[in-house]
């Protein structure tokens, strides 16, 4: 009779242990999934939705010595601008020598430290401001480096 009682008790203990293991596994799975879901949410909240892009125009490639480098360091950049309207592109074509001169002078003012993050964004803003001073019709709304090499 003691053997029958002991056998029933061990089955109950095994069943309870199995239920406890299932519950613990469920809790850990939930915590694990919650942790990774919150990480993905925090990564996605920093991103912004990109709207439509306006007309773009390639200003070409520029190779310019950097300030204070005595000709040993240079920047090579390809620049594309977004403009407010199509007719600005015609003006950019017309003013190409002025625009290239402004870009070259702006890039030549830079030191190697100026180009490191967030320096590239500062240079883009400088270029946009200075180039907009040359335009009579519309404006440049964005500047992108499609290539940027510093040596």
User: Does 22 share its domain with 60?
Assistant: no
- Return d(Cα 18, Cα 30) in angstroms, integer: 18
Mean pLDDT value across residues 47-59 = 81
User: Does 101 share its domain with 62?
Assistant: yes
User: Does 16 share its domain with 85?
Assistant: no
Task: Check whether 1 has a pLDDT greater than 90.
Answer: no
In this prediction, residue 29 carries a pLDDT of 79
In this prediction, residue 86 carries a pLDDT of 93
User: Does 44 share its domain with 69?
Assistant: no
User: Does 44 share its domain with 85?
Assistant: no
Structural domain count of the chain? 2
User: Does 44 share its domain with 66?
Assistant: no
In this prediction, residue 81 carries a pLDDT of 96
Contact 151, 74 (CB under 8 A): yes
Count of residues making up the chain: 151
Output the pTM of the full model.
0.64
User: Does 40 share its domain with 72?
Assistant: no
Confidence of residue 72 (pLDDT cuts 50, 70, 90): confident
Range of the domain at 64: 56-150
- Return d(Cα 99, Cα 101) in angstroms, integer: 5
In this prediction, residue 119 carries a pLDDT of 78
Task: Check whether 142 has a pLDDT greater than 90.
Answer: yes
In this prediction, residue 87 carries a pLDDT of 94
Query: Residue 67's domain is classified under what CATH number?
Result: 3.30.479.30
The pLDDT > 70 percentage for the chain reads 86
Secondary structure (3-state) at 43: helix
- The DSSP code for 73 is -
**What mean pLDDT value characterizes the chain?**
85
User: Does 28 share its domain with 97?
Assistant: no
Could you say which of 49, 67, 89 is where a domain stops?
49
Mean pLDDT value across residues 106-123 = 85
Tell me the per-residue pLDDT of 73-112, one tens digit each, with 9 for 90 and over. 899 999 999 999 999 999 999 999 999 999 999 999 988 8
């Amino acid at each position: 009779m003691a053997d029958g009682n002991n056998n029933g008790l061990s089955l109950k203990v095994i069943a309870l242990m199995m239920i406890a293991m299932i519950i613990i596994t469920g809790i850990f799975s939930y915590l694990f999934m919650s942790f990774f879901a919150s990480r993905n949410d925090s990564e996605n909240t920093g991103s912004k939705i990109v709207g439509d892009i306006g007309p773009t125009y390639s200003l070409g490639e520029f190779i310019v010595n950097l300030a204070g480098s005595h000709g040993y360091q240079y920047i090579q950049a390809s620049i594309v601008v977004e403009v407010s309207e199509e007719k600005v592109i015609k003006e950019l074509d017309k003013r190409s020598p002025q625009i290239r001169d402004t870009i070259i002078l702006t890039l030549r003012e830079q030191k190697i430290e100026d180009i490191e993050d967030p320096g590239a964004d500062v240079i883009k803003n400088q270029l946009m401001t200075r180039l907009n001073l040359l335009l009579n019709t519309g404006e440049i709304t964005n500047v992108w480096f499609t290539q940027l090499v510093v040596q």
